[in-house]
Structure 1
């Protein structure tokens, strides 16, 4: 048997649900008020009869009331007529009215508050059940906004075909198309980079052969050096594109990685470059256990330290400081360097691909302009964040925050 409510809209179901709850609450309140009023009225008062004297029969010591006069008999058995009878009746009416006020307003008000609180509690629970799918949509959207690697997630909401399910299905369709689009873009970058590697390698080999020939003139050797420099820059660009494409993929396999070991390894590799540039390399490899792809995390630290060395300015002090540490449920790697002053509004732009400051936008600038873009992409793929703050006097302090390894 089909459920007639299954195809009812969410608005209709909510209307029926809350309408039924309030109707039930009203019936309960009405019954409680009636019971309180009946109990209060019948407990404290006797009914005094008002009637018309038809057959006078005076008793001992009691005068007979006049014929056709209104009379009442009080609880002591005395018969009152005229103004006394009307006064007693008025007192009786006032007592009943006060009883009604006490029962309906005072005790009924308490009952109203109790039943209202009960209805509000049921409404809260029902609304939570009804709005739970919307919370799932919101949580999924936030996870995807926080990390592009979460584009593979879907809500896959089960339940009746209503407005909320339609919203969740539309959201899943949109995310699926975005996922396919980004995946296609990553595949294109990776395939193009692989295809470009072959001609660049072949071109480098031909230039080196021409340079090392015995009959090569000084002009040919000088031209060969320039071509090799340009070729090396293009190879570096392609390598950066490949790493960027890999870092934006979903991490399928992760292993425990201690960033202290990564800091020690990277600083040992770049000590020679730092010495040649006249930059002091300061290391502080504190314990920082996390989980992820070791090669990508090494690339993060390598890019940060290499940028710190390259983007320095000659002066009295030139240094790059690398520190890793464990703080609560997070691990941090902070790279600080001396260098040119960077306006705060330019900091966020440094993480864009191919973006460089000032004269470094020229072709002859250092690097390929992908270093910090790769850092942020890798950090987000590992569920982390990257922040950069300009130092007073020049340079940057860049901090990578990653989840700690619970094991």
Structure 2
């Protein structure tokens, strides 16, 4: 039944199941009533119209009859026998007519019961549709909206009140997390910035002391790595908190801006950066999308080959989605290691083939780049996938729903 309704294009929902259940129960009850009336009417007709005619010369007509509607030969029946046969035939005709009319009425009323059941089920399930619609709006926008279902204190209202209480707790929890991220951004970044400034001042004053300059350079690199780690963790933690702040943004324009900023770095490490930007508008957070692009292109520049390396950045709209493709040359990546690259603190084991590793101005990260890319893509309702290139490197595709 479910497969048949699906093939006919009929929605197999709880409303459909309730309607079919109501119509089926009505049909079974109607058939049971018809059987009871049929048997009772047969007994009543036997009692009201039975004629017992006994002939001394011949047996009663009862038992000599053939099929219904077929009379025995006239020479075997007298007048009483003929009356008995006619009464019996009238009884059978009455029962057959009652049965056919009753079945037709039950069939019609079953269809009518299904329609009524469909309407009643729709009215009864309307609060559930309201709850579902509110839950979808809350999931897509913010946690501040509540269902606030009005009506009698039944099971559906109890469900709505329970969901409202859960949304209230989630709202408080997310507000607390947002406050923590804001405070952590200040409390973690400020000391690192002060430390970097002090190290840079010390390096300026230690122009003639090679050991002190070497120590300062090492400390500055460590501090820069800590800054990058802190920034990555805060971005990863805050990406899902900014899901409600979505506005129409041009993906190609953001990609062009990020590529222009990173082109000098690519030139410094002898990596050719090629770009092709097509139009494509998405609903997103410009800061997070810019961070996604920056992480992808920086990774593509850093994890490259020492000579004749290249990075390709491409954006275009395809149907109902806008696609970003970042492709690069680089070390060979086994296919089984690709899913692990999107996990936090995971990097390729081979790091000796980084493009200009000693000359690259990009501080080596902590393995959060692709984790941030995946988190930002999911926050915007998109998806990301990476596939190894033949000969080395990766092809990373990010698809966003078009605005």
**TM above 0.5, one fold?**
yes
Paired residue secondary structure (2:344): coil
Residues 104/225 of structure 1: CA separation in 2 closer, same or farther (3 Å cut): same
Residue in structure 2 matched with residue 334 of structure 1 by the alignment:
325
Residue in structure 2 matched with residue 106 of structure 1 by the alignment:
100
The answer to whether 1:258 aligns with 2:250 is: yes
Q: Distance in 1 between matches of 2:279 and 2:319?
A: 12
Instruction: State the shift of 1:236 in Å.
Output: 1.6
Rg bigger for which structure? 1
- The structure 2 residue matched to 1:236, chosen from 225, 228, 241, is 228
8 A contact 2:224–2:363 mirrored in 1: no
Query: With structure 1 as the length reference, what TM-score do the two structures score?
Result: 0.70
Q: After alignment, is 341-350 or 190-199 more displaced?
A: 341-350
Residue in structure 2 matched with residue 378 of structure 1 by the alignment:
376
Paired residue secondary structure (1:160): coil
Residue in structure 2 matched with residue 174 of structure 1 by the alignment:
166
Q: Distance in 1 between matches of 2:86 and 2:127?
A: 60
Residue in structure 2 matched with residue 116 of structure 1 by the alignment:
110
Residues 49/381 of structure 1: CA separation in 2 closer, same or farther (3 Å cut): closer
Residue in structure 1 matched with residue 199 of structure 2 by the alignment:
207
Paired residue secondary structure (2:78): helix
Aligned positions, number:
352
The answer to whether 1:350 aligns with 2:331 is: no
Deviations 1:240-290 (A, max 9, x none): 234334422245554432111122222121122223333332211011122
Q: Distance in 2 between matches of 1:335 and 1:217?
A: 44
Residues 216/208 of structure 1: CA separation in 2 closer, same or farther (3 Å cut): farther
Instruction: State the shift of 1:387 in Å.
Output: 3.1
Note the residue ranges of structure 1 that are not aligned, 5 or more in a row.
1-14, 39-46, 53-65, 71-79
Residue in structure 2 matched with residue 221 of structure 1 by the alignment:
213
Instruction: State the shift of 1:226 in Å.
Output: 0.3
Residue in structure 2 matched with residue 247 of structure 1 by the alignment:
239
Residue in structure 2 matched with residue 59 of structure 1 by the alignment:
none
Instruction: State the shift of 1:49 in Å.
Output: 11
Q: How does 1:8-407 map to 2 (within 5 A)?
A: 83-135=77-129, 151=143, 154-213=146-205, 216-251=208-243, 253-314=245-306, 318-358=309-349, 366-405=364-403
Q: After alignment, is 230-239 or 328-337 more displaced?
A: 328-337
Q: Distance in 1 between matches of 2:126 and 2:327?
A: 45
Q: Distance in 2 between matches of 1:140 and 1:303?
A: 35
Deviations 1:34-78 (A, max 9, x none): 9xxx9xxxxxxxx999699xxxxxxxxxxxxx9xxx9xxxxxxxx
8 A contact 1:259–1:288 mirrored in 2: yes
